[in-house]
Structure 1
């Protein structure tokens, strides 16, 4: 996420088979974050099969 034309990256955790029901993002980052790799960590508590989108 580097440059002046960067918008937003959202990461969603959804129940398998429910791709159209995303809800709120589990993680989001917006705008220019610099030209170095960064690490992020999110704790999730799924109650069954899930997908990270």
Structure 2
């Protein structure tokens, strides 16, 4: 969930721009990337679900 700024999310072959109060879902196993394309700082909330929530589960 984008709190402030703009997030560029690459999800598989798709590139999505998200702004304040927007979010996206990344299915299990899909290659993804997050980037701040703007000049303002990007603040976001990341929500993970599942039985394993370790830092290496990326």
Judge same fold: TM > 0.5, yes or no: no
In the superposition, the TM-score normalised over structure 2's length comes to 0.30
Larger radius of gyration: 1
Q: Counting strand residues as a fraction of each chain, which structure ranks higher?
A: 2
In the superposition, the TM-score normalised over structure 1's length comes to 0.31
